[in-house]
Chains A and B, each alone.
Chain A
Amino acid sequence: MDQYEIRELCEQFFDAYENRRVDLLDRIYSDDCIIWHNVFGRETTRDENLAALPDSYKGQRRRTYDDRIVNTFHDGFVIQYSLDGVQNTGHRGSLWICIVARCRDGKITRIDEYMDSSKFAAWAGREGTR
C-alpha cells in the first residue's frame, strides 16, 4: 500500500466509526486484526471489538472524530485526533487520543490506542464538569 492508500484507509476507518457503520468496519479490519488499548492493557480480537461497538454508542447523540492529524509510514499510520461527543443529555465532551495502526492489503491488521482514562467521566458528563 502506498501512503495515499493508507491515508484513505485511515479516513474510511474513522468515518465508519463516526457513522456507526459496523458493517464497514468489518470490511476494514483484516481477519486477524487485533485491537490493543493502553487503558485496559490487553488485546481484543476483531470480533470482540465489533460486537462491543453497538453498546459503546449508547447514551450518545453524536460522536465525531475531529482534528485528525495523520502521518503515514511504510506499513501503517499514526493519527492524533479529538473524540468529540454529545451525550443524550446534551453534555459535550472531548477526549484526545492517539492511534497507531498497521495495514496490509487494504486492511487494518493492528490498532494500538492511547488515551487517558481519567478524562472518561468528564467526557460522558458523569462529573458535571468538562
Chain B
Amino acid sequence: MTRTDTAHRRLCHELFDAIERGDIEAVDRCYAPDMTLWFNVTGEEMTREESLKALAAGRDLHRRRTYDDRTISTFDDGFVVQYTVDVVAHSGAHTSLSACLVAEVHDGKISKLFEYLDSGKFAGR
C-alpha cells in the first residue's frame, strides 16, 4: 500500500465520517476551494458552497444516516468509493440505498466529486 493510497483512503473516510456527524466544517476541510460536485440525478454541477449548503439543509431530514460498507479503491489522483446509505427516518422506518462516488484529489483535498445513485429508490423514503 502506497502513501498516496493511504492518504486517499483517509480523506475518503474523513469526508463520510464528517457527513455522518453533520459536521459541515469538517466536510469543508476535505474540499479544495474550487471543488465541484456533479450529481447523476440532476446532471448538474454544484459549487463547493452550494454543496455545503445542501448538506447543512439535509442534516435534520432523518433521525440517522450512516454511510456503510465502504469499498474504497484508490488511483494516483483520486478514489472511488462504493457504499450503502442507511437511513432511519423520523418515523423509525429504515431504508437503504447503494451509491458510488468518484473523487479527484489534488494536494490532499477533493477537487471534484461525481455521485451516482438510483433516484428511483427515493420513493417512499
Q: Shortest beta-carbon distance, A110 to chain B, in Å?
A: 11
CB-CB contacts of B67-108 with A at 8 A, as 1s and 0s? Answer: 000000111001010100000000000000011101000000
Q: Shortest beta-carbon distance, A127 to chain B, in Å?
A: 14
Q: Please judge, given known A-B contacts A73-B73, A73-B74, A100-B82, whether A116 and B99 are in contact too, CB under 8 Å.
A: no
Q: Is A76 an interface residue (CB 8 A)?
A: yes
Q: How far is the CA of A80 from the CA of B75 in the complex (A)?
A: 14
A118 partner residues in chain B, CB cutoff 8 A: 41, 118-120
B102 partner residues in chain A, CB cutoff 8 A: 71, 78, 80, 98
Q: Is the CB of B43 within 8 A of A96?
A: yes
B43 partner residues in chain A, CB cutoff 8 A: 96
**Interfacial residues, chain A to chain B (CB-CB below 8 A):** 38-39, 41, 71-73, 76, 78, 80, 96-98, 100, 112, 114-118
Task: Pull 19 A–B residue pairs with CB atoms less than 8 Å apart, ordered by A.
Answer: A38-B117, A39-B118, A72-B75, A73-B73, A78-B73, A78-B102, A80-B102, A80-B116, A96-B116, A97-B40, A98-B102, A100-B73, A114-B98, A114-B99, A115-B40, A115-B116, A116-B117, A116-B119, A118-B118
